[in-house]
Structure 1
Amino acid sequence: MPNPKDILVVTTSTIEGRKINRHLKPVTAHIVAGTNVFSDVFAAFSDFFGGRSGSYQKQLTSLYDEAIHKIKLAAYEIGANGVVGLSIDMDEISGKNKSMFMLTAIGTAVVLENDNQSAPITQSERFENVSYERLNLLYKKKDILKKADEGNLSITDDNWHFVTTNQVDEIFPYLLKKYQAVLQGQMLQITVKEYYDRLVAYIDAFPEEKKFTMLYESALNESNEVYLSVISNIINDLQLVDLNYTARLLGSDEFKKQRIGLQIITFNKPFYNKVDVQHLEDLKDFIQQNFKERGTRSTKKQMLSSKEKEIWNCECGKTNDVSAVNQYCDNCDKDIYGFKTNDITPEKAIKSVNTKIALISELII
């Protein structure tokens, strides 16, 4: 699909002659628009004589068109090629000789069969007969991956839509790399929030099991803290908490991955059961037993005194006073366990897990 204009939008729950392969998620558009004085006066004049207000009609048509355009853009960004069940509600608010239209549109983004980009293209697919369209899609996928491998792929709207709609999971490492470039201000054509939202939409377009595999396997094999952080954020935003994967992160030899595990255990799953409660108990015990002080404690003599004072040596090499009010290293701002002020510490994680277990236990059968 070349652009959002080609997305089908209908008010019905189905599209005649087209099979819906997947329902993605609701998409919305919100528009607030004021009417000018001329429109108000002319509308009142027309209403008085029982006629129609051409000015109002044009405004209404414009608002509806804008709403549908925004709905199409929202669907396009998450890899849809259709929107079903479109509903548009509008209210007019008047006061102090001024009027304002408030319009809300909502529909369900779907992937329709028989669209050139509706089916994911994988290297392992084999067919008795291959259409030109499928060949063209495979060519484009290979071209995108080649450019990404060479480091010169442009993240255009069309490329975003292609990799999202066709679920090109091989491009994920490159998209993470580009996210860091956006953070560093190297891609001025897009804001950090816009890029992140598109990255979330890209992940969300995959089947549920694939989402977990992509995110957690990337986290387990990745050492870049920026990448780990954005993966953690996506897991939180999409509620993709997996306690088995979380246990693997907590048990990693790399402290940065252990920290991500502590973050994830404080996130919420869509649903919990008795098995989850036991798993949370096990993870809590693991955290209590395995997160030890990373700094080393010792003592040193005080000047002009025979007494010794307790100190701790940070991983960064800085010596700190244990009795100081600030329990964080003066050099790197980490505590003796290796955590910064805003990090999820083992203590915070355990507190969150205890609260979660207590609440679940009150409601679970």
Structure 2
Amino acid sequence: MAYGSAQDIIASTTPRLEGQEVQEYLGPVSSHLVAGTNIFSDIAASFSDLFGGRSKSYRKQLEKINEEVIGQLKEKAANRRANALVGLQVDNDQISGQNKEMFMVTASATAVRAEPTESQVGSEDRREGGAPLPAREMEKEVRKEELLEEHQSGILNLDSDSWQFLIENGITDFAEVVRHTAREAREGPGLLNAEKKRLSRSRDYFLSVPMETAKEQLYPMASHDNQRVTDWAVGVLEDGNMLDLGRISSMLDGDFHKEQKPALEILSRVDKPYYEEADLQKLKKIRGQVESGFGKRGEMKKVEKSGMMSSGTEEVWQVEGGPENPMDREYCQETGLDIYGFEKGETRPDEVTEILDRKIRVLKRQFGG
């Protein structure tokens, strides 16, 4: 499904967008359309027709095909959460073979996520040069106003139509509302059908809005006390390739349970849409934080042996206020933690350093350093 509105995607043949700054390069997209030359009826029956009265019909039919292939390209870009295409190229080719004539149109571009430059931010809500407001845009703005009024009045009900509107248009004004909705749906002990629907729609919403808006809501959820909330948030970050190295570095300096552990989980599962040269040093820093930031969180000590027939001392270990455990027990029966403060199945620092090492080696080969 398309996470944004394909109709609203800007397509440019240039590598830049006036008044916009590219925030993310989401990769190349291409689309192909192949049809028999009979779509032109008898327009192409003779070369002279192209210079006669039928040339307009030929041109209109060709324009229609080009519009269709560009429309397909926009749909693919929307599926990648793009809001613009740069470097657009459209090629037309006629293919002959086995007594058949085929007409192929290929469109290609780079899908990007662009935001208004600082000079444009203050005028986002104004039409430039008094340009007319299209009916579709008016309809969208009126609907948004209605939902905002309902929210402010405390009567907002996100039904199917409301969810569809928010997702298709990537309305950022409701990001906190959606975060609250998803958190409530995931905090319960089980999942009913209604809760599953809310979580699915919340996921689609966060994949439709600009990545920074989604990150602002999802990263705090990834540090939630409830593990089910954390797992859901990390899953959406994973689906959207929303790894934020700056946020991760800050989390690794934070609380062990609420931030450091979630940071390890995110690093093990979430990626970026693309990597650039500056990320090499960021990954090196994070690797150093992981390597030095996780030591034993418990202690080993010698205690007197208990029992009528026992004498001398024995070595035990204890973690975070839990009971004393014999050395042959890996996890504390009471807390479920090992001496490093991890539960069974949780992502561990050595797993993450392996992942980081591989990425660092790849970037070194690509960029040097």
* Distance in 2 of aligned mates of 1:314 and 1:230: 29
Q: Corresponding residue for 1:284?
A: 291
Q: Secondary structure at the match of 1:64?
A: helix
CA offsets 1:137-170 (integer angstroms, 9 cap, x no match): 9844633645998553544443235554x55542
* Distance in 1 of aligned mates of 2:82 and 2:154: 20
Q: Secondary structure at the match of 1:202?
A: coil
Residue identity in the other structure for 2:106:
L
Q: Secondary structure at the match of 1:253?
A: helix
Q: Corresponding residue for 1:170?
A: 176
1:298–1:311 contact (8 Å) kept in structure 2: yes
Q: Corresponding residue for 2:220?
A: 217
Write out aligned runs for 1:23-172 (5 A): 23=22, 30-36=30-36, 38-39=38-39, 42=42, 45-47=45-47, 57=59, 59-70=61-72, 80=83, 86-96=88-98, 97=100, 99=102, 101-106=104-109, 110=114, 113=120, 114=123, 116=125, 139-140=145-146, 142-143=148-149, 145-146=151-152, 150=156, 152-154=158-160, 155-160=162-167, 164=171, 166=172, 168-172=174-178
Could you tell me the percent identity over the aligned residues? 13
CA shift at 1:61, angstroms? 2.3
Residue identity in the other structure for 2:263:
G
Aligned residues: 306
1:91–1:101 contact (8 Å) kept in structure 2: yes
**Two-structure CA RMSD over aligned residues (Å):** 5.6
* Distance in 2 of aligned mates of 1:91 and 1:293: 73
2:89–2:109 contact (8 Å) kept in structure 1: yes
* Distance in 2 of aligned mates of 1:360 and 1:36: 46
Cα separation, partners in 2 of 1:43 and 1:109, compared to 1, 3 Å? farther
Q: Corresponding residue for 1:126?
A: none
* Distance in 1 of aligned mates of 2:57 and 2:8: 29
Q: Secondary structure at the match of 2:245?
A: coil
Structure 1 counterpart of 2:233, from 225, 228, 233: 228
1:339–1:345 contact (8 Å) kept in structure 2: no
* Distance in 1 of aligned mates of 2:8 and 2:281: 47
Q: Secondary structure at the match of 1:32?
A: strand
Higher relative contact order (CA 8 A, sep 6+): 2
1:284–1:353 contact (8 Å) kept in structure 2: no
Q: Which runs of 5+ in 1 are unaligned?
A: 119-131, 300-309, 319-335
